[in-house]
Structure 1
Amino acid sequence: MSSRHSAVRGPRRQRVRGVTGEHAGSTGPHPGALSTAPRVTDQRRSAGRAERIFTRLSGAESNDLAGVLRNETIGGALMLGAAVVALVWANSPWSNVYDTVRETTVGPAALHLDLSLQTWAADGLLAIFFFVAGLELKREFVVGDLRKPSRAAVPVAAAIAGMVAPALVFLAVAMAAGAEGPALRGWAIPTATDIAFALAVLAVIQSHLPPALRAFLLTLAVVDDLGAILVIATVYTASVDFLALAGAAVLLLGYALLQRRRVRAWWVYVPIGLAVWGLVHEAGVHATVAGMALALLTRARPDPGEHEAPAERVEHRVGPYSAGIAVPIFALFAAGVPISGGTFGGLVNDPASIAVVVGLVVGKPAGVLFGAWLTARFTRAQLGEGLSWADIAAVGMLAGVGFTVSLLITELAYEDPAQVELVKTAVIIGSLVAAVLAAVLLVRRNAAYRRLEEAAAEPETDMA
């Protein structure tokens, strides 16, 4: 699994209202961003402080906060911070409070929505995550790199091979270690890429890396997300209420027709989206599928004279909620696994946990690299401009950061709480190892590109 989530887009016009000058459209904090209101005297400020302290943010302040949350580094940091809080909380003297909060049930029982907070985070908030990921994927297919088969072939093939290889590695390692039956249900766990985490790592390092590398990673990750949704819908769905599913399909058809009629009213779409989510949940299919389905039906090509299509507009507005709220809260409820002296001993002796770590750290990067090489070798497709195979190897390792979606699949694959906790720990360990190794490789590639830039600049300096 985008806390994630940065839009797949080309250069955008400056569109942040209330911020002017060089900071307009910025995706990060900047000096003076929250000081656009007129100055007031100290007396007026003191007199009005109590009344204004809890007032709503101004338009400029809200836009600036949303811009900060769109920053890939911030989104990844929030998710990682939430995971750290969960781990510390679950292993503290207040772990019983963590368990109580996570299992607290809220929601209307009459609608079969009396769910625990943990389930609301996984089924509800992650639907927002997959909605944003789906909007990115739709825009890529319609107006982005994926609209040209020659440019899309390599990253798409890398994504597919990057899902098949870790699944095969998981099965091979697990069966070699003696696993059988239910333990093998976790084969899909190492197939996912956490788009928010991966883009955050790349954003920290990419000062001299070619822009095509980010586009490659983003395309790979969103195709991964689509693959994860298909796996969840087909493999981890026990039974289906076809009547509820048919109702969701009818509403999705209505949503698509409204998009074709160019209806823009948000108050029409929100109830439809909520109803689709509820019906998909009632059908027994994991409700995150609703988010991806709605996104893929959203219009992504702007009309003549239209500044931006609905897919771009909605992603720009919903993305900060996904990165700043949905994904961090899911991480808070999903990553809190108790770790003791016996945990690592249990990991070493658990075939599924070993297979998850090997699948993420070895299977995922090997699959990405092999899929990209095979496609470039036997078709006319080529790597993006300025990319080398060393870059693809580094991105392949970064794709081994499974985290969000891998944690979700873990909860769906296993019923035994002890097994779930062991495999979640393995997901966290494997993702961190992959992130560290990828960071090392990317730092080396960044240094190599910096040297090339410096060497290219030397003749100009000498001529001056």
Structure 2
Amino acid sequence: MYRVWSYVADYSLLLIGGAVIALFWANAAPESYHALVHFPLWTGGPIGALETHSGSLLRVVTLHFLFNDVLMAFFFAIAAKEVWEAVILREGALRGRKALTPLIATAGGMAGPVVIYLCLAVALGVLEETSRGWAIPTATDIAFSYLVGRVVFGARHPAIGFLLLLAIADDAGGLAILAIFYPSADVAPHWLLLSLAAAFAVYFLANALPRRLDRGDQDRPHSTWMRKTLGFWPWAVAGAASWYGFQMAGLHPALGLLPIVPTIPHAEREFGIFAEEEGCQTDLLNIIEHGLKVPVQFVLFGFGLLNAGVEFSAISEPTWLVLLGLTIGKPLGIIVFGLLAAYPLRLGLPAGMAVRDLLVVGFVAAIGFTVALFVASVAFPGGAVQDAAKMGALFSLGSAVIAITAGRVFGVHRSA
């Protein structure tokens, strides 16, 4: 359990702390809270959200933009690192036939919430004003879901591995949705050439070329010089260029580091997101992740503080659309698609995992929280609808209680 608590402490407890402070602050003194959120740090620079000042369109960096659009890029880079390793490395979690059932269940876990969300929006007559929020309940908070999964199933239950596969694939789908369906401005795709050029240049000059020059030389002088002398700096420069390319292309700049992650030298095999061996990896990709751990803790605190400040009076239809999309649509989609994969498609479930376990996994995966909160902040402009949707993302933490209760009701056998 140490690594579970360590991961949750690293990436979630400060987020919750920021969210709790924001809730109290926004309900006790809303004017001062919103003044903090929109406090301008830099006006008229090359980066920032476009705003009209004195008749001119200028870029403004507020605290909200700094955390949501700039610093959250490091959080999504860590998520992308886990997805990349799961796909590309030996023993990767998303390689081969073993990943097919969780992947198909993930598709259901993303489709189910969308169907429930949109159907409820039509039934309540609010489709026009809430339709952009369809992707909010597709999210799964991997850290909290894993923690609750360990409480329900124990440490060695095969459903834990299934849950991790599902959560990693869900992260990948969520990143794709953000990039495709939620551009931050009018799309100018030619700016993506800057991101691609930065990725190709740093991969060739700082990764592939040194290895090619070292071919046949066991001392590897060029790769060693690159690692010891330049370290992560070539990728930092490439990351800044890629981030700027995403901003100017109109895509959400928080995803701007994604093209750079696959270019970083990585280990030859993947041990898993919570495996103890991950902490001993000395490849540059893992070294960068370890270096980002503490800064990302404070980024998530700031993200929670600047995004979760919702007045309780904002609770309305979008709150229930998001919450029910997660608590009903997510389990329903996972169980339907999971059973379809396991039986009609004859892909099966992991040995030792029963149908009741699949259902409980669906409830565990319904904890949206971090990514759901982020998607809500980009799906709607600031205002009542966004606040209501954010409240639904916050309420999704209650799925932990539903999952633990479901585990007991369905007689899940814990594996120590």
What range is the shorter-chain TM-score in?
Answer: 0.7 to 0.9
Matches within 5 A, 1:118-157: 118-141=64-87, 142-146=89-93, 148-157=95-104
Aligned position for 2:308: 335
Give the aligned partner of residue 243 of structure 2. 277
C-alpha distance in 2, partners of 1:221/1:437?
Answer: 18
Q: What is the alpha-carbon distance in structure 1 between the residues aligned to residue 263 and residue 355 of structure 2? A: 35
From 76, 90, 95, the counterpart of 2:26: 90
Q: TM-score, normalised by structure 1?
A: 0.73
Displacement of 1:209 in angstroms is 4.2
Give unpaired runs (5+ residues) of structure 1. Answer: 1-5, 7-25, 29-67, 454-464
Deviation for aligned residue 1:308: 4.5
Give the number of the structure whose alpha-carbon radius of gyration is greater: 1
Q: Where do 1:200-279 residues align within 5 Å? A: 200-203=147-150, 205=151, 208-237=154-183, 238-257=185-204, 258-261=206-209, 263-264=226-227, 265-279=231-245
Deviation at 1:286, TM superposition (A): 0.2
For structure 2, list consecutive stretches of 5 or more residues without a partner in the other structure.
Answer: 49-59, 212-225, 270-279
Change in CA separation of 1:156 and 1:172 when aligned onto 2, cut-off 3 Å: same
Quick check: 1:302–1:308 contact (8 Å CA) kept in 2? Answer: no
How far apart are the structure 2 equivalents of 1:410 and 1:266? 33
User: For 1:4-55, what per-residue CA distance to the aligned partner results, in whole angstroms no more than 9, with x for missing partners?
Assistant: xx9xxxxxxxxxxxxxxxxxxx759xxxxxxxxxxxxxxxxxxxxxxxxxxx
1:313 counterpart residue number? 287
- Aligned equivalent of 1:110, options 36, 45, 50: 45
CA distance 1:103–1:416, change in 2 (3 Å): closer
1:362-386, Cα deviation, whole Å (9 max, x unpaired): 0011111222211111334332343
Please tell me the residue identity of whatever aligns with 2:159: L
Q: Does 1:376 align with 2:342?
A: yes
Separation of aligned partners in 2, 1:115 and 1:219:
37
Residue number in structure 2 paired with 1:325: 298
Q: Which residue of 1 aligns with 2:14?
A: 78
1:165 and 2:101 aligned: no
Following superposition, the deviation at residue 416 of structure 1 comes to: 5.4
Q: Taking structure 1 as reference, are residues 374 and 433 closer, same or farther at Cα in structure 2, changes over 3 Å only?
A: same
Q: TM-score, normalised by structure 2?
A: 0.81
Contact 1:247 1:279 in 2 (8 A): yes
Q: Structure 2 counterpart of 1:336, which letter?
A: G
- In structure 2, how many angstroms separate the alpha carbons of the residues matched to 1:443 and 1:311? 40
SS at match of 1:275: helix
For 2:412 and 2:107, the matched residues in 1 are separated by 30
1:162 is paired with a residue whose SS is helix
Tell me, yes or no, if the aligned pair for 1:280 and 1:286 is still in contact at 8 Å: yes
Q: Is 1:209–1:446's contact at 8 Å kept on the other side of the alignment? A: no
- Map 1:38-53 → 2, pairs under 5 A: none
SS of the counterpart of 1:184? helix
1:321 is displaced (CA, Å) by: 3.3
1:418 Cα deviation from its structure 2 partner = 1.3
Counterpart in 1 of 2:361?
395
Cα displacement string for residues 149-196 of structure 1 (whole angstroms, at most 9, x for unaligned residues): 211111111111111111111111111211233421111111111123
* Contact 2:202/2:234 (8 A) holds in 1: no
SS in 2 for 1:106: strand
Q: Cα–Cα, structure 1 residues 88 and 153, in superposed 2: closer, same or farther, change >3 Å?
A: same
